[in-house]
Structure 1
């Protein structure tokens, strides 16, 4: 196969920084070719392949499954921590046909919109689990009375679009004029992150740095007041938090009773701590998911096609293959306004 468009993901940034793991060391390999989400063209199918569902010339989505558990969830991710897997940052490659999912024939949507599918497949799985958990405790009240809030990137955006479709109030933090406008244009209430400049200040040295602690507390209080206004004073029903440690205490403080924290990423810190008793008394449910279930892939693809639930037209930014180092630097330094950064490997 030959890659056409690849989606730049947080896992690629993690690999380059060798944190939270060194994937080369973990795989026992000197070098790793990254890129586990994107659109590829099938060039040739091995004559001995069985149950082949793709044809030469097909445009397909790469499914990022390396090692599966007994229920078909990913234990190791393709082109990340799974040994002997080659990602999309190569002009041509070979892969197991079971990892290729054809784009529907005659699709109404452009290739860049499809190339963002990884964030949407992940969001579909995380939202379905989070919403199901929320409903186990709030069985009768209508979603219109409840707020779903997110901070993160494209996955959080995709989840909020599902929440909006389900009838929830939806809001999301954004840190630039471009993203604030993007959220508003898509029916999500934007909360300008710049209004709370000290929200992410470290909390561990509060006693030795009183001034910093006061600054952070002021930002936290201001943010929580916004949440109260948006939720009629009750707090967030489902909080999509794919940031992690710097904002985790704020997430929990903003959460309503019987609320759900939904996590499927850890952009800025994996180690979290909370008061277990307080979380129990408030009946908070913590939902942690990773990737999605392989057999669900065709169903999610078909839902995207029929409902148009995918990256809005023109919302992606595409770097050429020789600009991938620039893309990596821009992503790491927060210089990309789009939630859907991509790289082009071969022409369509």
Structure 2
């Protein structure tokens, strides 16, 4: 039996419905696990990437992952960079290899994820631990003699996810608009690092690109990367709850004013045609504005949600406007090495400020900062062990 220092999530009370669950928190404690099997590697995490699924696990929304896994406690953290301590029976790994973790705990016959390592897959132990064990075939080596830091590689998952989602969304747009000059069409997004990475691919494909941000630092980062930055503080009341409208006239008036300002911004950026491909990784609160901003033959695409997973639209209107809706999850397992090599060879990489990386002792603060929107970086990272 191996015991490791870890940040652990405990199961919530049983029997609580989705609206009765109290949020969880991470507890620093010793976590035991059995010795790795032949097909598993013993590793020590170096850098972890803080993802929305960790916040979902802590908020117990939409599920209590511990109950789903039928476990009393679990260690989250499914994306990051690790060092191999013992490769098990793998002939592709050796002691000391630095690898990225591919989160495919269970995949379908086509290579797409069904269960995610260190989230909803039972028995998996995440990177919020001093040591852990991982199926050897989920470890993808960082390129030898890479030009980039390990902290930059630790943010890979947002890029891998963006690569896959853009491939599908762009392909869908081309089915209806393949004879069009992309330079006359706008790709717009709101969300975080996945959206930023995806907009960089859209820019490389020749599209106009724009993204919202709510802080001066993020606005500057977008402009530095050649993405038109739209200050979301211009429309502060754009969130709309389709399931539970407030019924307050003043609230409705504030929403209409913010929506009008947002649609005006889109009209100017798109030359009056609307958004050709809208990358919406926020979810329900902004979905009404997303749909209203769309161009005919437009594509709305997402790889998940940050707030509110249920969305509503008028099916007839979507048909008449020939809007295509794309929903993807993670990426295809077999594409992992190709995406890694594309990043290395084309400089499609994040900028990481080393001073913004949280230490292992600061994980609780990281969780609070992420939940409150206090993190300026599009790529929040934590360091577990020294590289």
* TM-score in terms of structure 1 length: 0.97
Q: Which residue of 2 aligns with 1:27?
A: 69
- 1:315 CA drift (Å): 7.9
Matches within 5 A, 1:218-257: 218-257=257-296
Q: Which residue of 1 aligns with 2:314?
A: 275
- Could you tell me whether the CA contact under 8 Å between 1:66 and 1:82 is conserved in 2? yes
The gaps in structure 2 that reach 5 residues or longer are 1-42
Bigger strand share: 2
2:150 to 111, 114, 124: 111
- Could you tell me whether the CA contact under 8 Å between 1:203 and 1:213 is conserved in 2? no
- 1:61 CA drift (Å): 0.2
Q: Which residue of 1 aligns with 2:17?
A: none
Pairing 1:264–2:303 present: yes
2:124 is paired with a residue whose SS is coil
2:96 is paired with a residue whose SS is coil
Q: Which residue of 1 aligns with 2:349?
A: 310
After superposition, the Cα gap between the structure-2 partners of 1:204 and 1:25, relative to the gap in structure 1 and judged at 3 Å, is closer
After superposition, the Cα gap between the structure-2 partners of 1:94 and 1:203, relative to the gap in structure 1 and judged at 3 Å, is closer
Cα deviation digits, residues 227-259 of structure 1 (max 9, x gap): 000000000000000000000010000110000
- Rounded to whole Å, the distance in 1 between the matches of 2:166 and 2:355 is 22
Bigger mean CA deviation after superposition, 314-323 or 159-168: 314-323
- Rounded to whole Å, the distance in 1 between the matches of 2:354 and 2:216 is 14
Q: How many residues align?
A: 345
Pairing 1:37–2:79 present: yes
- 1:203 CA drift (Å): 4.8
- Rounded to whole Å, the distance in 1 between the matches of 2:318 and 2:291 is 8
Bigger mean CA deviation after superposition, 324-333 or 308-317: 308-317
1:215 to 236, 241, 254: 254
Relative contact order, higher structure (CA 8 A, sep 6+): 1
Bigger mean CA deviation after superposition, 91-100 or 129-138: 91-100
Q: Which residue of 2 aligns with 1:295?
A: 334
- Rounded to whole Å, the distance in 2 between the matches of 1:97 and 1:108 is 25
Q: Which residue of 2 aligns with 1:76?
A: 115
- 1:211 CA drift (Å): 1.4
- 1:317 CA drift (Å): 2.5
- Rounded to whole Å, the distance in 2 between the matches of 1:275 and 1:148 is 22
